[in-house]
A = this chain, B = another copy of it.
Amino acid sequence: MGTLKPWARFPLLVAAHLLALGIGAAVLQALEGPPALQLQAKLRAELAAFQAEYGACLPPGALEELLGTALEAQVHGVSSLGNGSEARTWDLPSALLFTASILTTTGYGNMAPLSAGGKAFCVVYATLGLPASLALLAALRCCLLPLLSHPGAWVAIHWQLAPETAALLCAAGLGLLVAGTFVLLPALVLWGLQGECDLLEAIYFCFSSLSTIGLGDLLPGGSRGLHPVLYHLGQLALLGYLLLGLLAMLLTVETFSELPQVRAMVKFFGSSGLLTAEDQGGILGQDELALSTLPPSAAAPEQATTC
Contacts and interface: CB of A to CB of B under 8 A. Distances in A.
Contacts of A232: none
A168 interface: no
A145 interface: yes
Copies in the complex: 2
Instruction: State the main secondary structure of chain A at its contact with B.
Output: helix
B101 A213 contact: yes
Interface size class of A (residues with CB under 8 A): 35 or more
Nearest to A203: B123
A199 to B, nearest CB: 10
Given A28-B95, A36-B88, A17 B132 contact: yes
A159 B256 CA distance: 42
Given A153-B287, A200-B120, A201-B119, A58 B69 contact: no
Given A54-B58, A57-B57, A142-B271, 10 more contacts: A24-B95, A32-B90, A43-B73, A50-B66, A105-B214, A106-B213, A109-B215, A119-B201, A135-B269, A147-B275
Interface in A70-101: 70-71, 73-81, 84, 88-92, 95-96, 98-101
Contacts of A131: 253, 256
Contacts of A185: none
Contact of A99 (B25, B106, B266, B275): B25
A138 to B, nearest CB: 4
A29 B114 CA distance: 12
A273 to B, nearest CB: 9
